[in-house]
Chains A and B, each alone.
Chain A
């Protein structure tokens, strides 16, 4: 799941500036699950903006809409009527949703209301942590199902650096050493010998380093199907 966190209210107020009307556009998928930008959070943010405007003696019309998936064009279309009525749209979807809205409504300012953080897992109520760096070349089978790219602060591929202590990363005592977890897991699986293989330099071209990525499934493309 894509994990996001609402921007601080001061930053949001600064982003929307002096507009007289705003649509807060939520998304009912990932950002709803991580309680950053679903229908409930849209409502809370709308109230906060109304209160802030009232405190400053300003007129601000705040509309609300939450679509099923802001990253899909057909769902976005359902927001069109409200988008047309406002000066600015504040999207509480992830960065994909914001950009999908911007593509769909080219003449309307579409602004982010959340910070898109990472691909993560809900660990406990109110706690999410990063699990995947979307590097495009998954090697989880080599490391006991624990990703060294996402979970080692240095993305090391051949084992832990010399900086971990007591199972924690040198970056912070709040961060588990990803390699410590891998070693523990492979030990439990009786597969520690897997770490004896030297992993060559990674091909980061499959990652963001290769430029913006695209996946095309030809079998679903009419014009490319034989």
Chain B
């Protein structure tokens, strides 16, 4: 065991893993987090806590993750390269690990000009950092864990138990580099991979085939991303505007025609899980029910993945 985290144990035991996302609040009130915790409790093996997603200030991923630990849920702390240099990142990782946070997802982070795609103001005038990129961040975490050593070379007083995650956008532009990027992340030390949302099963299966050709599925646990759709408009938006997300027209039509769109969204997510599960090398799913945490239990249950294994 590298970290002893529940997610690591579930994957090591050969179970089909489930992670789900929890977005921290835009404020210091812990109550909304507690409500989400209760909605999500028992639905996944670990819960991603986002790190100022879309470059909008929210409660820190670390602080929110500590609350999850206290409440008995295992977090996957997300860490972006946007806001911290390598000194701050490592310091935060040490503190997080000390508080019992042992899964970390390394990502570049949305650029600060993003601001929730124009829906919120964000901080477009912020000074960004990007001292290291997400692949280098993976390598830094591996060095903290395996060598008890900081990136600069100084020794730590012991290893840092971490289960290291990275993101993969298999259908992103430029697509010819996406398998290489995945390979680099795994070579740097990624133990698990969470993908961008999958809607186009055929194209995702093709990307997985390329990953299998390089044996990448055996070196890291690949969890397919599932975003639970709420409406046809949301699917249309994602298809048009979210990089690397391709939504087949038949899914958009299906949502459009549905009498109960939320129920249909849950059905679509459930079916997607069943479909990605059949693709060789997919070892779990990462479910994002963006600000609709109540849907996760139905989705996971509908896919026959409840209760979650106790390992």
Knowing A154-B128, A158-B181, A198-B184 are in contact, say whether A163-B111 is a contact too (CB < 8 A): yes
Tell me if A156 and B173 are in contact (CB < 8 A): no
Complex contacts, B181 vs chain A, CB 8 Å: 158-160
Which chain A residues (129-178) contact chain B, with CB distance < 8 Å?
Answer: 153-167, 169-172, 177
Which chain A residues (11-50) contact chain B, with CB distance < 8 Å?
Answer: none
Instruction: Determine whether B223 belongs to the interface, using a CB cutoff of 8 Å to chain A.
Output: no
- Interchain nearest-CB distance for A41 vs B (Å): 28
Tell me if A201 and B173 are in contact (CB < 8 A): no
- Interface stretch among A87-95, A110-118, A180-188? A180-188
- Nearest chain-B residue to A183 (Cβ)? B174
Instruction: Determine whether B108 belongs to the interface, using a CB cutoff of 8 Å to chain A.
Output: yes
Kindly name the residue among A164, A166, A167, A187 whose own CB sees the greatest number of chain B CB atoms within 10 A: A164
- Interface stretch among B37-45, B66-74, B129-137, B252-260? B129-137
Tell me if B139 and A198 are in contact (CB < 8 A): yes
Tell me if B82 and A160 are in contact (CB < 8 A): no
Tell me if A187 and B176 are in contact (CB < 8 A): yes
Complex contacts, B131 vs chain A, CB 8 Å: 201, 204
Instruction: Determine whether A192 belongs to the interface, using a CB cutoff of 8 Å to chain B.
Output: yes
- Nearest chain-B residue to A204 (Cβ)? B131
Instruction: Determine whether A196 belongs to the interface, using a CB cutoff of 8 Å to chain B.
Output: yes
Interface residues on chain A, size class: 20 to 34
Tell me if B111 and A201 are in contact (CB < 8 A): no
CA distance A179 to B173 in the complex (A): 10
Interface residues on chain B, size class: 35 or more
CA distance A184 to B173 in the complex (A): 11
Complex contacts, A195 vs chain B, CB 8 Å: 177, 180
- Interchain nearest-CB distance for B157 vs A (Å): 22
Instruction: Determine whether A200 belongs to the interface, using a CB cutoff of 8 Å to chain B.
Output: yes
Complex contacts, A172 vs chain B, CB 8 Å: 113
Tell me if B174 and A171 are in contact (CB < 8 A): no
Complex contacts, A196 vs chain B, CB 8 Å: 180, 183-184
CA distance A76 to B134 in the complex (A): 47
- Interchain nearest-CB distance for A99 vs B (Å): 22
Which chain A residues (175-224) contact chain B, with CB distance < 8 Å?
Answer: 177, 179-180, 183-184, 187, 192, 195-196, 198-202, 204
- Interchain nearest-CB distance for A206 vs B (Å): 14
Complex contacts, A171 vs chain B, CB 8 Å: 111, 113-114
- Interchain nearest-CB distance for B21 vs A (Å): 16
Tell me if A200 and B167 are in contact (CB < 8 A): no
Knowing A165-B243, A195-B180, A198-B184 are in contact, say whether A180-B174 is a contact too (CB < 8 A): yes
- Nearest chain-A residue to B82 (Cβ)? A154
CA distance A185 to B243 in the complex (A): 21
Complex contacts, B114 vs chain A, CB 8 Å: 170-171
Which chain B residues (120-142) contact chain A, with CB distance < 8 Å?
Answer: 128, 130-136, 139-140
Tell me if B136 and A167 are in contact (CB < 8 A): no
Complex contacts, B135 vs chain A, CB 8 Å: 158-159, 198
Knowing A198-B188, A201-B86, A201-B131 are in contact, say whether A158-B176 is a contact too (CB < 8 A): no
Knowing A158-B133, A201-B86 are in contact, say whether A170-B139 is a contact too (CB < 8 A): no
Complex contacts, A184 vs chain B, CB 8 Å: 174
- Nearest chain-A residue to B177 (Cβ)? A183
Give the A-binding residues of B (Cβ under 8 A).
81-82, 86, 108-111, 113-114, 128, 130-136, 139-140, 151, 167-169, 172-174, 176-177, 180-181, 183-184, 187-188, 196, 241, 243-244
A-B contact pairs, 7 of them (CB 8 A): A156-B130, A159-B177, A163-B108, A164-B174, A171-B111, A183-B176, A198-B184
